[in-house]
Structure 1
Amino acid sequence: MDIFRSLKYRNFKLFFYGQSVSLIGTWMQKTAVSWLVYQLTGSAVLLGIVSFVSLIPSLILSPYAGSYIDRHNRFKVLVGTQVISMLQAGALAAMIYFRFYNMSGIILLSLIQGITNAFDVTCRQSLMVEMVDNKEDLPNAIALNSTMTNMARIAGPALAGIILSTLGEDFCFISNFLSYIAVLTCLFMMKLNTAIVNRPQKDIWTELKEGFHYVASDRDISSLIVMLTISSLFVIPFNTLMPIFAKDLFHGSAKTFSWFESAAGLGSVFSAVYLAYLKSSKGLIKIMAGASLLFSLSVLLLAYAKVLPIALLFMTFTGVGMMAQTSSINTFIQTHSASHMRARAISYFVMAYQGMIPVGSLLIGLLAGAVGPRMAVCVEGMIGIVATLCFVLYRNRVESGRMLGRKSTLAGTSI
């Protein structure tokens, strides 16, 4: 089928299968950690702190990670991040298995995971172009990768909900540890013609400045990254409060919480499949704007949903919007960046996406403690709507300026 056309490339197919298994384990662990932390502490603030430390390294380290990856063998960096992630998962699994429920230990291991992910996500995204022989199939590969990620987001929390209520949380953590065997096996089976990296004469701080100036000078890329930054800081963190929605507002269990995660994942898959069918990367900015509006409106409606089925419906729409928003920005950056700047451009995407979410998670945890979870989520939805309208107005001005520039050029040529 046309939607699966990038799977004909052996390297991408191995990457796809290995990550499929590993990401299910990752989402099982993520769901179990959120539920365990809230069950042990009953604190929205601690939920925000755990999310904060697991993602804040992306804000601080992503630009450095992009420059580092541009200077080193990307495949070796990827293998290294997977090994470290496996060890981190093993340490967390051992802690839970022996009933050593220590919040400081959970926070420390979450921080280690965040540091590793700052390099891992940037590396995986920048390496994808080398897994697909025909670059016209790159948008399809990115969309399929997003589909796989969000299928895992459905399966992982669903399995976690069943396992938490039957076998216990330790089985979730052990399963994530074992899942890294699959991704490492597939990585070692790949045959990538990774170019030998000639270490540049410039120091890494000079490269950091070049990366910033490259992104800032491109109006399309910079405006998308600013929009993603606002969304990651003020809208996407609404998900931090879903354990509270499941347990306190809808009087549910771990299984109820897993339904919220799975509903968002289901919506994300719908978006990913749509993006995978796209023949080119044209129109991505318009798709992003529409998706951002849908996402923010769904968050606003979710805030005051009174019955669980309606809340899960709006949660599904948040998945549709958020997935289309982030994936279209990712695809645009990968397909429009200069090859020697790709990793650095992607690193700013990772910083704006994963790096700002922890700050937002901490803020919404504090806001929910002050005004309640429903009002906190409502505020996030309203901020998203305003930000999207401002982005559309800015894009219209940019396009009008470009059209005037073209007309002036044509007039000058005719003279």
Structure 2
Amino acid sequence: METQKVQKNQCDMKTDLNLLLECLKYQMDCPASQKEALITIYSICQQNSEASEYFREIGGLMFINDLAKSSVHRIVKEAALFTLGIIIESNVYCQQTLCTSALFEDLILFLINKDSGVNLKRMSVYVILVLVSNNKSGQTYVRDTGCIGLLLQLFRTTLSISEMNLSDENTNQCYQLWSSVCSTLCACVNNPQNEDNQNICCSVFPYAKEWLESCTEPEIVRPICSFVGLTVANNSYVQKYFVSVGGLDTLAQVLIKLMHDSCMSHSSTKLAVVVTKTLDACIANDSAMGVVLTKYHTVSELLKLLSNDTLDTGEKISIILTIGHCTEVCAEQLSLKINDNSLNVNNAEELEVQVRKRSLQDYWKKAKEILHRINLIEKEHDE
């Protein structure tokens, strides 16, 4: 009985998609009807790999691709691009079919066309996002066609720091486009990691730094931290460049501000964890760069954050790892100074070393206490 029901649903789905494709073909002079048909198609194909694959087999995917380029109606272009994105996202074969330099070049034209509205640009960016996500070929095409350069330009110019009023409809639309660009840039550099794209994307770090200096709203900090964290990940060249433009200093300053705000705001506490993870990504491969953070007493701030009872286990572990990377070089230097008997130091220097050593030991003692507490909580939960 259940098998018959599944078969009937599959048959109905195929019938519906065939009828909707015919509707698209014969309603070329009626953009409203085409838009409705496209909405129905993506509602069927959304998170439905089988439906998306069937639609590709009957020629629907390529028809919508052509429709997005040929239609003179903006509402049809927008709906066609969004439908393409939904289908690509739900089926890897559809992604492979459309992942061509030709499509990236078409999307570039949408983005540079002065007549393209903000929403059409956002739909174009969405298609780029699903083409590059988990797809090395897409990451290569986005670079080779120059599309990544255009995305970086949008990152720099779409939003104005001085006009950040998201309650304003026009500003909010621009923000949605900018946020989509950030997500797409993240996909360009990550999963799989793409060093070539990381090396290109780091060119906008000075702009990211300027944003963080001017605004600590979650709507800005979260996308930028995601972008920075993935762009610097496992790439020493990019990490050093971020430090050289003052990015690490800025993150440390943002953390201090958020820690001050966290006394009154739960959202600031959560945002401080996001910043902490980004800090860690910047120094994880070369903790010597973490020396920059000493003047901001970052470890002390992280220990305060670690003691916050509202954080979950994963967040606390992230903070502990960051503390470890922040103190790693300092611990090595102290060990060398204390164990090297041939080192001639005066009493003042020796005292300073001992004080720093005790301070470091205190940090780790607190961290271990928190970790022990986390383990107990996990055991209680398992029981």
Interval of TM-score (by shorter of Structure 1 and Structure 2): under 0.3
* Larger Rg over CA atoms: 2
Greater percentage in helix: 1
TM-score, structure 1 length as denominator? 0.25
TM-score, structure 2 length as denominator? 0.27
